[in-house]
Structure 1
Amino acid sequence: MATFAQHSLSSGWSFKDSDDQSPEAWLPVPIVPSVVQQDLQANGKLEDPFIGFNELSARWVNEKSWTYRNVFQKPEVPAGSSIFLVFDGLDTFAKVKLDDQTILESDNMFLAHRIDVTKLLEAGGEHTLEIDFDCALLRARELRKQHPEHKWVGFNGDPARMSVRKAQYHWGWDWGPVLMTAGIWKEVRLEVYSARVSDLWTEVDLAADHATAQVSAFAELETRGDASYQATFTLSLAGQEIAKQSSTPENNVAKVSFDVSNPSLWWPNGYGDQTLYEISVSLEKEETQVQQVSKKFGIRTAEVIQQPDKHGKSFFFRINGVDIFCGGACWIPADSLLTNVTPDRYRKWIELMAVGHQVMIRVWGGGIYEDESFYQACDEVGIMVWQDFMFGCGNYPTWPEILESVEKEATYNVRRLRHHPSIVIWVGNNEDYQVQEQSGLTYNFEDKDPQSWLKTDFPARYIYEHILPDVVKKTSPSTYYHPGSPWGDGKITSDPTVGDMHQWNVWHGTQEKYQIFDTLGGRFNSEFGMEAFPHMATIDHFVENEADKYPQSHVLDFHNKADGHERRIATYLVENLRTATDLETYVYLTQVVQAETMMFGYRGWRRQWGDERHCGGALLWQLNDCWPTISWAIVDYFLRPKPAFYAVRRVLNPVAIGVRREHHDWSVCHAQPPKTSKYELWVSSSLLKELVGKVELRFISIKTGLEIHDAIVHEDVKIVPNGTTNILEGVIDHAVDEPHVLAARVWVDGELLARDVDWPQPFKYLDLSDRGLEVTRISKTEKEQKLELSTRKPVKCLVFEERDGVRVSDSAIDIVPGDDQVVTITGLKPGDAQLTYKFLGQ
């Protein structure tokens, strides 16, 4: 009995410019998966497009077509078996020929392909596989020309991109280069079998009391000829078999059901264990195993709670019956050349989120449906996934071929990913309803006839409100579907009372002061951000000449793709800080602004969680970068956290204290100081049990470091679970009190859990010289060392150097007299130089 066999076709490839007919045009491909830019670099035909201005000298690649070729041996084929050629992903317009016969024409990067090549490989010996990748850039422009009836409007990149099912950021975005990749971007192989498991999935029904769960397991089979197969399912936990059951397939689907008592649930990071069960199926014939397939899944419920309340209509996530404040970030592809991203690199990104107390990642709709290893990391670490479908910032066309392709793409990817417990929502698109609003396209929410939508100048509504919800309902019925981000019941996308919101009136839009960020939010803030430069080590990587290392150099501006970034960075710097001309200080100042901005947003929105779930979550734009650049990322391309990463981590601490004086807008009152300022003190907790703690508020002079009032101390404070405890309000009399910080701390059972320090704004008016800071090493082992931070006067935003392989437990720290802090550093080797640091006014 023949068993299922796979033969990788990762090696032995060569490629060439399709137009070059000379025999010497063929160049070796080190390994596939790859994209053409990597293969050109490997052959010395292209400089690294991430360095300097090299992106411009790599643009010629974008306008070419490319051919890949592989000569391979026919594999052994047992009697009764067939041979399939399998592509997990081709980027993007691909014509596949086997021994000069066309066997596939593909135009969707997000689809896999499986072609029966048994007859074509009847002859033994060598066979030639050739793939022509037509130029996506030129094909897109041609498709746009062919459809003048469509309104080609959108943000970012060439609007023609919307005609092609390819990662949209490849056309260039306001954080990324124009790098039009082509190639075999996912695995390619031959499969030889007479039968296989084509899909394996579970449907889980968890009892309301969590005492039992029913796990239904399904295996879809593909058989050649005789179909007398048996499927044996095994349910396991931590490598131990729990239950086993066999099934005879009907209509090529085998099904069993397991009852699980006292199931161990899957929880988000910080709320419990990330338990993963394993379902495996063994396909058997005549007691011989033909193939075995396994997948891991979680037992959990995930709901999106939208119900009327005093603020409008809620929008928050409830996992296993527990309301979860979704502090997290948006994710863009981690590289412009996707095949650079390894499973280990994915894992490091997701582990960083967990370290930062984040619980949700939003996979943005202008990139890709991510690699399996991304979602595996999210499952194992406990990061919930908000998964956009791949439509971004545009009015997408809907001719019949595209609609058919979109339906196949959605079905394939939802089926591929539906077993992951981390995926808690599927969302139709990114900002396409904003494009509809800003371009005045037709959208009548009361019209419920999908066919009529296709006749309007916003036909893509048919995709988001008809095709995609149908696919999710059929394929992953327990997962919530949301038509777009932002979107809320067909209302204007900036409506703060319903749905989710992208709040860009800090940085973009009206460029509000970051100090009032929390007043600008909605029911769920799924995008907001502030730019900052990366660390100097990253700048050193892409800036080749020392002469270019000044804040406004041409190459630095070139590596910032955001429209008007010069004005926006300058505005936020000059409004808040004393500016600098040397690059290192300038870099640091942009990072201070980003850290403060994120802190003000998250701190206030998390506080609102306790007010009838007024804010259900905050996902900053963005976690990561796709190349070494200046952007909104809080962790740069090389996985180096910016100060904002640490600021967000503190605000998302399971127990966080907040203190804030009211905002006094100095820029609209001719910098007149306020006479008085109100302030507030509160504690936020995501823990599910009530705590009793001690809360302290101190008033410390910025000039002398002395306390100007007695500290306020509240003992036996009951800290409400999963909500906000408002502690006190007060008034600062500026006629009496010199400029001072409000320094707050909270203890539970004698353990200091959290701090917060509120400063007079703006920082540029403060004299922060002569702080009396001391950084003392208090212990050192082979694995780690501890530093004690103490000061005579308040210190703002002490930032440690980020060095590869070295981790600091905290950074971007405010320090006040009488509250020494300890930072743990791991990864420094004997003989390594100590980490350098900067602080405001240094």
Structure 2
Amino acid sequence: MTISLNGQWQLTCVQRAALQDLHIYLPGDVHSALFAAGEIPDPYWATNEKKVQWVGECDWIVSRQFDLTEAQLACNAMDLVMDHLDTVAEIRLNGHTVADFNNMFMRHKVDVLSCLQVGSNRIEIVLHRADLAAKKRADKLPFPVPWAEGNNQIPHMNTLRKTQCHAGWDWGICLSVLGVYGDIELQPIEHVRISHISTKQKWLEQECELSVTLNYEVVSDKGLATAAVTFDDQTFQLTLDRDATKACVLFRIAEPRRWWPAGYGKQRLYDLKIEADGSKIDKKIGLRKLELITEDDELGQSMVFKVNDVDISARGANWIPMDAMPARMTDQRYRSLLEDAVAANMNMLRVWGGGMYEKDIFYELCDELGILVWQDLMFACALYPSTPDFVAEVRQEVEYQVRRLKDHTSLALWCGDNEVIGAISWYPESRQNREKYLVNYDRLNRALAEVVEQEDPSRRFWASSPCNGELDFGDAWHDDKRGDMHFWDVWHSGKDLEAYQSVTPRFCSEFGFQSWPSLPTVKTFAPEQDWNITSPSFECHQKNSRGNSIITEMFTRYFRFPNGFVNMLYLSQVQQAMAIKTAVEYWRAHKPTNRGILYWQLNDCWPVSSWSSLEYSGRWKQLHYHVRRFFDQQMATFIRDEQGVKLHLINDGRDSAELKGEVVWQSWAGEILYREPISEFLNPDSTKVTWEWLNEDLEGHETEGFFHVHLRNGEKLIENTYFPAKPKECELEDPDLRFEVAELHGEIFVMLSSSKPAFYVHLEFEGEGRFEDSSFTLVPEHQRQVKYIGSASVDELVQGLRVYHLKQSY
């Protein structure tokens, strides 16, 4: 029976005598414990970030007492097991040092039976400073290895196997956290130690074979260990051979219920249960085929994920660590964020390489919800050592992580790193000696590939993101003909939003545009006197050095300048949504050339100005409401080319779709200048141009109105709006927008109407919850009834609701 050591521990600072025997709850982190004890201010408030840096510049001891009985110690081994130990730590039991660890990404396991005793026992974990450990490692390197300057505020974090963004990023607070973020357990071993379970699927005509392998280590030469393996109501009883290290059973499943990504079918999961020598292991297995196809074609080379022999259009975002203070990473927050991703019609997330291999709950929920996972290995935006010691350490780390994660149905790809190939050209040392640092990169990357290919031959190893393909170290930031692309010409290079339409990536795994957070979120980190874009509090929560300038300058290109702080926040989110919408709709209309779109980024790890579509609190930005529409299986979009404005209809579904409605050309006063009915049948996985307005008929009239499409696919509403001119050039009229809150059949709705068209109509509630839709076009002909999703009452919603639209922003 496993003995849990989770719960209340004691926390002591080595350097500060006044900080003794504070309470800390593990799993948890030192910063969270100090904040709960009132020893530090809220790190997320105002400019407190700088006031708490001393915490990461100290060593800490966490300790506790626990009792053991004679019966509990009557075993042949007792493993102390710790997950997510961050990072440089010495483990002491009853005064004996039993281990030294220095890798956050490993499950640490050590037999401590000889150090335990009947009755009271004391365990101590000494957490050492990460900054000094990183510098010590850097000083020993045979040549300089550039670290992520410009992102990290603490040098040389690339030498340490710790979450890289703990040292700060261009969206992240610098908190060099310490602690244990996973379970701490004592596991008694009688006969065998189960190291890991591995499954493998083999597909026949209408049948799937699932092999289940138990990998184990014998710890006693007496007695026999048995195991029971159950899958799909079939059970095998095994006796584990003392002279072997593994045992395998084979299940045959006739007419298997297949697992599909979200939007393509149901997420069928089977229970796999294993009982072995007193240990119980439960997994959920989805049966499905998975391939990544990269084939040469007339444009370059395709990049498409295929599930169950169906080409998948990957739609999603990049995932960063949920919180800079790991104690706040709760299962419920994981569920809320991932359900919000699926609610916005996503079917893939990329776990970014500057963060962490996520907790089990993340992958379990992705299996359940149908979210494919692009899994980076944890290397990002820096160069990394290739010394024998570092490579050996990383081999062990990747072996563990692949074994831990590969049975998750949702896992689609292993990627070696984030932007490390590109980083070779970023730093003076590597620019001046590119060949040397390229060899250095290749040594490490080949080692990663070897481990992945050995442990999980069922999935592709993709060397880096972005990457043009195997052994291709070209410019994947600008070459859209092959591989995955990071397209940052708009945000970082200052091009207009239309630059998104100058490329058609085969798979775009990063692109993005920032916005400021909403007013309710600003209230959580800035006092009212700092409600100003250039105030100290606000600038502390903008980690991109040019971020506020880029947002503001882009206003001047497209919009009339907003009046006041609140409207600046609102308009920044309009602009962000317009930017990402411009890219996504154009690329989706060019299917099958493009088969993957992952914008940067889904979430925030603290309240901040960033590229996210979900704020730190989980609040939906305007972008996320647009994502829900432009990532829908069926979508309509206007795209202007050299001939004119064309209406493209897209169907990503496995079934056909019938769309009926109309397209209108409407004045700012709401007068219908032109209308045409639309009735189209879309084949599965298809695109179609169904309507066109010639440039020769539009030229000279661009500022007179807008195009709007209103379609139905059964009960589903599909709408879109297109301005032929920039919004700042258009004479929008006051829409006389009216709204009221009402309860109907036990649900709360906001009823909206207007006398004239209103654009980017956005509902913002001070409290928790969201709306079924927001940031939409409201026209007099189609008034809206929008459902509120949350726990507030009608009165609370009335008191805390604000409704924005574009005309009122200036």
Find the partner of 1:623 among 602, 611, 615. 602
Task: Using structure 1 for the length normalisation, give the TM-score.
Answer: 0.90
Structure-1 residue corresponding to 2:119: 125
**Distance in 2 between residues matched to 1:51 and 1:458, nearest whole Å:** 44
Q: Which runs of 5+ in 1 are unaligned?
A: 285-289, 444-451, 664-676
Structure-2 residue corresponding to 1:606: 588
1:332 has 2:320 as partner? yes
Structure-2 residue corresponding to 1:585: 567
The answer on whether the counterparts of 1:700 and 1:741 sit within 8 Å (CA) in structure 2 is: yes
- Deviation, 1:463, is 2.1
**Distance in 2 between residues matched to 1:346 and 1:78, nearest whole Å:** 37
**Distance in 1 between residues matched to 2:487 and 2:700, nearest whole Å:** 37
CA deviations over 1:771-810 (Å, ceiling 9, x no partner) = 133435575233x123443333221100101444423110
Find the partner of 1:550 among 532, 553, 558. 532
Find the partner of 1:744 among 697, 701, 709. 709
Find the partner of 1:111 among 100, 106, 115. 106
- Deviation, 1:93, is 0.8
1:809 has 2:772 as partner? yes
- Deviation, 1:247, is 5.5
Q: Name the amino acid aligned to 1:786.
A: F
Find the partner of 1:198 among 195, 199, 208. 195
Q: Name the amino acid aligned to 2:508.
A: N
Structure-1 residue corresponding to 2:698: 733
**Distance in 2 between residues matched to 1:620 and 1:461, nearest whole Å:** 28
- Deviation, 1:251, is 1.1
**Distance in 1 between residues matched to 2:807 and 2:567, nearest whole Å:** 10
The answer on whether the counterparts of 1:772 and 1:793 sit within 8 Å (CA) in structure 2 is: yes
Structure-1 residue corresponding to 2:380: 392
Structure 2 CA distance for partners of 1:777 and 1:112, relative to 1, 3 Å: closer
- Please provide the CA RMSD for this pair: 2.2
Structure-1 residue corresponding to 2:621: 642
Bigger mean CA deviation after superposition, 718-727 or 267-276? 718-727
Structure 2 CA distance for partners of 1:440 and 1:761, relative to 1, 3 Å: farther
The answer on whether the counterparts of 1:152 and 1:159 sit within 8 Å (CA) in structure 2 is: no
Structure 2 CA distance for partners of 1:785 and 1:80, relative to 1, 3 Å: closer
The answer on whether the counterparts of 1:327 and 1:360 sit within 8 Å (CA) in structure 2 is: yes
**Distance in 2 between residues matched to 1:483 and 1:66, nearest whole Å:** 38
CA deviations over 1:8-33 (Å, ceiling 9, x no partner) = 1123521222234x5x6422223111
Q: Name the amino acid aligned to 2:492.
A: H
The count of corresponding residues between Structure 1 and Structure 2 is 792
3-state DSSP class of the match of 1:296? Answer: strand
Structure-2 residue corresponding to 1:504: 488
The answer on whether the counterparts of 2:773 and 2:786 sit within 8 Å (CA) in structure 1 is: yes
CA deviations over 1:524-552 (Å, ceiling 9, x no partner) = 110111111111111001012x2111233
The answer on whether the counterparts of 2:651 and 2:657 sit within 8 Å (CA) in structure 1 is: no
- Deviation, 1:582, is 1.6
- Deviation, 1:134, is 1.5
Find the partner of 2:143 among 149, 152, 157. 149
- Deviation, 1:131, is 2.0
CA deviations over 1:736-786 (Å, ceiling 9, x no partner) = 67611111133345x45411110133211222232133435575233x123
Structure-2 residue corresponding to 1:668: none
3-state DSSP class of the match of 1:114? Answer: strand
CA deviations over 1:154-184 (Å, ceiling 9, x no partner) = 4521451111110000111000111001122
Structure-2 residue corresponding to 1:256: 249
**Distance in 2 between residues matched to 1:365 and 1:112, nearest whole Å:** 19
Q: Name the amino acid aligned to 1:146.
A: K
- Deviation, 1:523, is 1.1
Structure 2 CA distance for partners of 1:263 and 1:387, relative to 1, 3 Å: same
CA deviations over 1:707-750 (Å, ceiling 9, x no partner) = 223x12243x231321211113222434467611111133345x
The answer on whether the counterparts of 2:262 and 2:346 sit within 8 Å (CA) in structure 1 is: yes
The answer on whether the counterparts of 1:65 and 1:134 sit within 8 Å (CA) in structure 2 is: yes
Structure 2 CA distance for partners of 1:145 and 1:815, relative to 1, 3 Å: same
3-state DSSP class of the match of 2:440? Answer: coil
**Distance in 1 between residues matched to 2:77 and 2:276, nearest whole Å:** 17
**Distance in 2 between residues matched to 1:800 and 1:92, nearest whole Å:** 43
3-state DSSP class of the match of 2:749? Answer: strand
**Distance in 1 between residues matched to 2:371 and 2:447, nearest whole Å:** 28
Structure-1 residue corresponding to 2:463: 483
Structure 2 CA distance for partners of 1:47 and 1:748, relative to 1, 3 Å: closer
Find the partner of 2:31 among 28, 37, 56. 37
Structure 2 CA distance for partners of 1:14 and 1:748, relative to 1, 3 Å: closer
- Deviation, 1:197, is 3.0
CA deviations over 1:95-147 (Å, ceiling 9, x no partner) = 112223221111111111111111122x4332322222221112212322333
Task: Using structure 2 for the length normalisation, give the TM-score.
Answer: 0.94
3-state DSSP class of the match of 1:169? Answer: helix
3-state DSSP class of the match of 1:115? Answer: strand
1:232 has 2:228 as partner? yes
The answer on whether the counterparts of 2:421 and 2:441 sit within 8 Å (CA) in structure 1 is: no
3-state DSSP class of the match of 2:113? Answer: coil
Identity across matched positions, percent: 29
**Distance in 2 between residues matched to 1:297 and 1:340, nearest whole Å:** 29
Find the partner of 1:461 among 432, 436, 442. 442
Structure 2 CA distance for partners of 1:56 and 1:309, relative to 1, 3 Å: same
- Deviation, 1:69, is 2.0
- Deviation, 1:608, is 1.1
**Distance in 2 between residues matched to 1:476 and 1:150, nearest whole Å:** 33
Structure-1 residue corresponding to 2:633: 654
Q: What aligned pairs does 1:10-159 form with structure 2 within 5 A after superposition?
A: 10-20=6-16, 22=17, 25-76=19-70, 77=72, 79-121=74-116, 123-147=117-141, 149-155=143-149, 156-157=151-152, 158-159=154-155
3-state DSSP class of the match of 2:524? Answer: helix
Structure-1 residue corresponding to 2:727: 763
Structure 2 CA distance for partners of 1:747 and 1:19, relative to 1, 3 Å: closer
Find the partner of 2:354 among 363, 366, 370. 366
The answer on whether the counterparts of 1:360 and 1:386 sit within 8 Å (CA) in structure 2 is: yes
3-state DSSP class of the match of 1:595? Answer: helix
Q: What aligned pairs does 1:405-424 form with structure 2 within 5 A after superposition?
A: 405-424=393-412
Structure-2 residue corresponding to 1:719: 682
The answer on whether the counterparts of 1:232 and 1:283 sit within 8 Å (CA) in structure 2 is: yes
The answer on whether the counterparts of 1:431 and 1:484 sit within 8 Å (CA) in structure 2 is: yes
Q: Name the amino acid aligned to 1:416.
A: R
Structure 2 CA distance for partners of 1:137 and 1:206, relative to 1, 3 Å: same
**Distance in 2 between residues matched to 1:647 and 1:390, nearest whole Å:** 31
Q: Which runs of 5+ in 2 are unaligned?
A: none
Bigger mean CA deviation after superposition, 82-91 or 635-644? 82-91
